[in-house]
């Protein structure tokens, strides 16, 4: 066997396991969050989604107005989210309308 043939053979053998892996169909899990559009959504998008995905919000489930108000305040106080009082109110109403449980407290 010539040295060239040896090189080609070892290269092919080395590449085989990698090719076997690529043959498998790679599926990236797709998580569809049911994001509800509507009045105030742009404000949420502009103020909340700069740091994390909408999943953080939706994963809380349906909650009271006080809960959402508290979360918005937490973002402002603890994480320094630059949200104006006006926007905070719009977001609170949006979250309570779409992800609220009907209770004020
Ligand atoms: C400045 C960055 C920033 C902005 C802007 C921001 N958040 Fe967060 N948020 C965070 C961080 C950091 C966490 C905690 C992440 C962790 O614990 O892994 C978080 C977590 C959360 C959680 C999960 C529950 C909890 O108490 O930790 C919710 C709900 C949430 N954010 C809602 C919002 C909403 C609603 C807005 C818009 C009003 C918003 N966030 C804007 C940084 C931000």
For residue 59, the model assigns a pLDDT of 94
Burial per residue of 59-98, b for 16 or more beta-carbon CB atoms within 10 angstroms, e otherwise:
eeeebebebbbebbeebbeeeebebeeebbebbbbbbbeb
For residue 36, the model assigns a pLDDT of 73
Which whole number is the average pLDDT over 9-20?
Answer: 56
What is the per-residue pLDDT across 24-37, written as a single tens digit (0 to 9) for each? 676 766 666 667 77
What is the per-residue pLDDT across 59-71, written as a single tens digit (0 to 9) for each? 999 999 999 999 9
**Which residue from 8, 9, 98 is spatially nearest to 57, judged by alpha carbons?**
98
Which whole number is the average pLDDT over 11-27?
Answer: 59
CB contact at 8 A, 63 and 99: yes
CB contact at 8 A, 41 and 94: yes
Tokens 């959504």: give the residue. 41
Ligand 1, residues at Cβ distance < 6 Å? 47-48, 50-52, 56-57, 60, 71-72, 74-75, 79-81, 83, 91
For residue 100, the model assigns a pLDDT of 96
């Amino acid at each position: 066997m010539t040295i060239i043939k040896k090189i080609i053979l070892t290269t092919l053998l080395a590449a085989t396991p990698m090719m076997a892996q690529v043959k498998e169909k790679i599926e990236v899990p797709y998580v569809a969050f049911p994001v509800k559009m509507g009045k105030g959504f742009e404000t949420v998008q502009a103020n909340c989604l700069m740091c994390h995905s909408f999943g953080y919000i939706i994963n809380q489930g349906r909650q009271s107005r006080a809960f959402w108000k508290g979360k918005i305040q937490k973002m402002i106080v603890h994480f320094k989210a630059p949200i104006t009082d006006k926007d905070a109110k719009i977001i609170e109403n949006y979250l309570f309308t779409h992800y609220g449980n009907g209770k004020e407290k």
